[in-house]
Chain A
Amino acid sequence: MNGEGFLFLFGVVMAAVLLFAMVFFIIMFSDLECDYINPIDLCNKLNQFVLPENFLHAFLWLMFLINGSWMALILNTPLLAWHVYKIVNNRHMFDATEIFRTLPQHKKECFLKLGFYLLSFFYYLYRMILALLNEA
């Protein structure tokens, strides 16, 4: 297995992890809507995953950069930029006092990211297989 194979294997795993994170977020949001959880607990719970998620994604992006996987890099850049933008503006955390007002946005964002991670999961898988085939 060559470097690229390993990289995309790592990418597949990361994408799966991020995918689960998004599913978790969405489940929590629907819990909030159904009043199974109060906003303070929700925000405390979710906020501890926000930065790790962003960091993980940034790390993956960095790996692509180092490896020179330009296609994967380009795919991931907009999302990275979005994360950086939110962190710079201090909007990355969920705010318990605003959560109900911003819930639709958060949900939309989570769904979009879910879709993105899903697609990238398959893309990385494809690239991984391609790399393995090339090697063979």
Chain B
Amino acid sequence: MAAPPPPNYGAQRPPMMNNPNMNPHQVRPGQGLPGGPNVHPGFPGGPGGAPPLPAGQPGVGQPYGQHIPPNRAGTPQGYPPQQPGMQPQPGGPQPTGFNYGNYPQPNRPAPNYRPPTGPGHADGMPPAPSPSMGQMPPMGNVAPIQRPGMPPPLRPLTGHAAGVPGSPMTESPTARLPPNFIPPISGTPPPPGPGVAPPGTRAGRRAYPTADPYSNPSAMSPMGGPSLDPFSAQLPSPEYGRPGTPATGVPPSPLPAQAPQFFNPGQAGGQQASVPTFGAQPAGPPAPTFGSQPQGQWASGQGMGSSSTFSSQSDLAQVTGSFGNLSIGGQSRGGPTSVNLLQGPPNVQEFDGPAPTPWISPESSVSQAPTSNSDPKYKRCTINAIPQTIQLMNKCKIPFGLLVTPYRHLLDGEDPVPVINPPQIVRCRRCRTYINPWVQFVEQGSRWKCNLCFLTNEVPSFFDWDPETRGHVDRLQRPELTHAVVEFIAPQEYMVRPPQPVVMLFVIDVSYAAVQSGMLATAARTILDTLDSVPNTDNRTKVGFITVDSALHFYNLSPNLAEPQMLVVSDLDDTFLPMPYDLLVSLTESRSVIEMLLQRIGDMFKNTQNVGNVLGRALQAAHKMISPIGGKIIVLQSTLPNQNEGALKAREDPKLLGTPKEVSLLQPQTGFYKNLAVSCSPTQVSIDVFLFSAQYADIATLSGCAKFTGGSVYYYPAFNAARSEDAMKFAHEFSHFLSRPIGLEAVMRVRASKGIRMTAFHGNFFLRSTDLLSLPNVNPDNSYAVEMTLQENLTTSLACFQTALLHTSSNGERRIRVITLAVPVTNNLADVFASTDQFAVASLLSKKAVERALTSKIEDAREALMYKLDDIMGAYKSSFTTSGQAVQLLMPDNLKLLPLLTLGLLKNTAFRSTSTVPSDLRSYIMAMLYVLPPEMSMVQIHPRFWALHALDQQAGLPGADGRIVKPPSLNLSSEKLERHGLYLLENGFEIFIWVGRAVAPELVQMLFDRPAYDAITAGKTTLPTLQNDFNVRVNNLIGKIREVRIQMMTTYPQLYVVKEDGEPSLRMWFLSQLIEDRIDASYSYPQFLGVLRERLGKVGTA
């Protein structure tokens, strides 16, 4: 049963076999892969799905240079004007030597596989029959998983790379092809074609293949075969040879001359031998040809707004890329689609696209279920095709890491994580990996082979036999084999004590500032209103209160009391609790007493004049109170702790801001809170901090409590409950905070395939052992970043990462949430670049930069960011560009936003070089960047910018799927600001509405209910709800933003109205979010690119 039906391959092989250059291992990056039906399912705007350019945005190929406002026109690196003539023309000349008439078409398995025959395809023109990713039919009949990422590691490489003709590898591996790597795709059987697997295939597969791709990496190689499909037709890019394409304004003299000779598909394959012989091998599509394939795919599939403009570059880089690859042993099959960054403004539409997924179909798992691979929202890897060798890893310079958000809040419409309760939790004996969809069944299914350490383990009998029904069960239906994210209910051996209840202990500041700002009253009111939704399904939840000023007040909340009893402790020489019990009570039993306390607490301290605060002592007492159980300490603080242990100085010194010494303000001024947090960690106590100070709050120091206990920090600068916006924001956030599910007494371990080692972790946790994260509470908002490195060369074609989160859920069950991510391994540098997830990279870099800034200097963090970008671009340049392209600034298409993201980080509040950001705010943003999942932090790095005055038909209204349709994003540049415009900008923490001076009074009336521009008040505001279409739409959009933010990061963004000629500070704040502009002394985006190009000038080309 091991051998899958060779016919599958046989039908396709002949043509390829005719070509001596054909190499089954020549898996084209991006070819089979992105084409797979499950891969990149909805790549950011696949063809047809490409988001339309916003109105008013420069059209495709429109010279960007013309849009540069006068103040930027003189910048050294303004986008050079580009002649419209550069536009690709479908009927353009074909490069010579590219006669695809020679390609045997019959070997195309399915009609859908027809390569586009019009040359226009390469240009990313809306492809009529284009095999763009996401639209491809199931490839079951075609080469199943010919992901580029499954290179034929090791053995055959050298020989093949050299183009050894007729290598036996073409044959034998086919026979050994592990069945489970044949994409199953049961749902949509492909039209029977020459390559269609016989119906028996599936059955055979079901029978637990014994072949093992892990031990036999070469088995995978033939899969690359079909991907050789003659997509070469796309390669010729008509305008390729045209002068001027490189859009850099430099006469591209060398290019036209060189182009034709590069433009030999034979070279695209990176095989020198094939170049001359190509013409002589018309029988089969030469391997290299598919070097071109992804081009069309990427170009069109990416839905680039201006794909036609880029494609010429792509082709060029494609070809040259192949040259670059020669240097790595001739293994690679071409380069990723290159984009010249100098060619136009960044395409910000891609921020709205779905996250890139690993270059492997989830259906190549053992169960073939579409849910077999982890959703990027739970776990994503910066590289979706992992370099096989250490050398390759070092060469690509791309940071290698994972971003895990294990306990994330589910959004509407998402399937809940399956919870299973097997008689026994099946794990690998050696590495303790949990069984998952990526294991292999061997020995007729009696054993399973661990996909991390490759040890074979027994399959327990209950996998096939249900003792209750006394019937046979299909093991491949088990959730642990069909879902990458599952939750096991853990048996006794996973507990050191019975699962703890939820414990919430509030430590509330009742000093003068807290009472005056209304924080105390609002907090009490919110807690009171939320008591019903606090996790309390098993009625075990415990609650306690401590209020703090210069003394500690404890509350006896015994259910036997008629009303709460306050116990004041003013002797603070030592930490002690006034009574041993009844301070922490059951929420259900003492509900009435608790409610009474919350109703009265505001009045109790109404007239206080006490400005002292002994938070340090309060936290010690709180820890003492709940340490036997563990739980959550919630600190609400308006004053800087100023007495007793843990007293802090108001050390803010505006003179230090913007200087290298600023970092001293970002580091804790005392180790007290950190030490406290460290002692909380083993007792399963987590601390969450809410800070409301109107003056200095010292987030840098107090956030230490949250950082090492898995908590969170919330900051409300100058909070005043009298302003309804402030009160609303806090109430919303606090109420969501209290009612969201929490995981308790958790530990998280990350395991990875043999050869991969974790080097560093980022996030809020305490690292208890080299790979064990201790999380007293797991918080749905927090994500964790893991930096990894290759310890040894990988020997398999799949690398797997498994995160196990052992926690107690809020209903008192001990559970293990297991998240498994499988990523293919490649030996091709081009694949590595083409599969890199720029958003994950930016997110990982931001976390590293935060750490760098805090341990060294902010300036060092900026330099590190810049250096890393340089490094990556340099690595790309040195491998994939030719000397003729030196004037361009090339990046792979999938990394083309990385420079913009880096610029966004450099200008972010956290890292910007400025003397106007208070250290509290900087600390807060850093703390947030450090914990937020990539989807959320991305908005902070690159805000969303919409034109409200030009909403299209659907924007702001529920779309076909019931979700609010978002308007297209605009580039973050003030050149987009028209005087009559109305714009919305959102960065995750704030929403700004910019009102142009010449805005139409009707719009103002509709939106703000004010007669004219002059009547609008700037600043924090709430939009009126009016019965007109425009108002409804804008309110829908804001509501949608707030809904997502509150769910995913417990933040209720505040709305600010900014008038064009309004208050300068507010205006500057808004303008500082437009990161493509020059702000203070920082670069504009075109300038930044110029600097990059200069810095890269020294890097040699391939």
Contacts and interface: CB of A to CB of B under 8 A. Distances in A.
Interface stretch (B492-500, B764-772, B1002-1010): B764-772
A100 B770 contact: yes
Contact of A100 (B674, B678, B681, B767): B767
A39 B766 CA distance: 10
A35 interface: yes
B448 interface: no
B678 A35 contact: no
Contacts of A96: 678, 766
Nearest to B760: A101
A55 B321 CA distance: 61
Nearest to A99: B767
Contacts of A97: 674, 678, 708, 766-767
A105 interface: no
B81 interface: no
Interface in A80-104: 96-97, 99-101
B946 to A, nearest CB: 41
A40 B674 contact: no
B682 interface: yes
A69 interface: no
A28 to B, nearest CB: 14
A38 interface: yes
A33 B770 CA distance: 7
Interface in B75-121: none
Given A97-B674, A101-B760, A39 B682 contact: no
A39 B708 contact: no
Given A97-B708, A101-B760, A35 B769 contact: yes
A56 B295 CA distance: 69
Interface in B660-694: 674, 678-679, 681-682
Which of B679, B681, B768, B769 is the most central at the interface, judged by chain A CB atoms within 10 Å of its CB?
B769
Interface in A27-70: 32-33, 35, 38-40
Nearest to B767: A100
A130 B682 CA distance: 55
B462 to A, nearest CB: 32
Contacts of A35: 769-770, 772
A39 B682 CA distance: 11
Interface in B754-777: 760, 766-770, 772
Nearest to B682: A40
A38 B678 CA distance: 12
Contacts of A38: 682, 768-769
Contacts of B682: 38, 40
A40 B681 CA distance: 10
A39 B760 contact: no
A38 B767 CA distance: 9
Contacts of A40: 678-679, 681-682
Interface residues of A, number: 11
B200 to A, nearest CB: 49
Contacts of B767: 39, 97, 99-100
Interface string B775-792: 000000000000000000
Interface in B828-858: none
Contacts of B678: 40, 96-97
A76 to B, nearest CB: 30
A39 B678 CA distance: 10
Contacts of B769: 32, 35, 38-39
A88 to B, nearest CB: 15
Contacts of B679: 40
A125 B682 CA distance: 47
A1 B769 CA distance: 52
Nearest to A43: B678
B859 to A, nearest CB: 19
A136 to B, nearest CB: 55
A96 B671 CA distance: 12
A32 B768 CA distance: 9
A32 B674 CA distance: 21
B994 to A, nearest CB: 42
A57 to B, nearest CB: 25
Contacts of B766: 96-97
B741 to A, nearest CB: 27
A87 to B, nearest CB: 15
Nearest to A41: B682
A12 B767 CA distance: 39
B674 A39 contact: no
Contacts of A39: 767-769
A35 B771 CA distance: 10
A91 to B, nearest CB: 11
Interface in B701-740: 708
Nearest to B674: A97
Contacts of A99: 767
A60 to B, nearest CB: 30
Nearest to A36: B769
A101 to B, nearest CB: 6
Contacts of B768: 38-39
Nearest to A102: B855
Interface string B246-265: 00000000000000000000
A96 B707 CA distance: 13
A43 to B, nearest CB: 9
Interface string A1-32: 00000000000000000000000000000001
Contacts of B772: 35
Contacts of A32: 769
Contacts of A33: 770
A101 B855 CA distance: 12
B582 to A, nearest CB: 31
B787 to A, nearest CB: 11
A97 B774 CA distance: 11
Interface string B124-154: 0000000000000000000000000000000
A35 B769 CA distance: 6
Contacts of B770: 33, 35, 100
Contacts of B674: 97
Nearest to A96: B678
B22 to A, nearest CB: 48
Contacts of B708: 97
A44 to B, nearest CB: 10
Nearest to B766: A97
B1039 to A, nearest CB: 40
Interface in A92-126: 96-97, 99-101
A33 B768 CA distance: 11
Nearest to B708: A97
Nearest to B675: A96
A40 B760 CA distance: 18
A53 to B, nearest CB: 21
A101 B679 CA distance: 19
Contacts of B681: 40
A80 to B, nearest CB: 25
Contacts of A100: 767, 770
A99 B768 CA distance: 10
A53 B678 CA distance: 25
B706 to A, nearest CB: 13
B351 to A, nearest CB: 32
B993 to A, nearest CB: 42
Nearest to B677: A97
A49 to B, nearest CB: 19
24 contacts: A32-B769, A33-B770, A35-B769, A35-B770, A38-B682, A38-B768, A38-B769, A39-B767, A39-B768, A39-B769, A40-B678, A40-B679, A40-B681, A40-B682, A96-B678, A96-B766, A97-B674, A97-B678, A97-B708, A97-B766, A97-B767, A99-B767, A100-B770, A101-B760
Given A97-B674, A100-B770, 7 more contacts: A35-B769, A35-B772, A38-B769, A39-B768, A39-B769, A40-B679, A97-B766
- Listed from nearest, the 7 A-B pairs whose CB atoms lie closest are A35-B769, A100-B767, A96-B678, A97-B708, A38-B768, A40-B678, A97-B678
Interface of B: 674, 678-679, 681-682, 708, 760, 766-770, 772
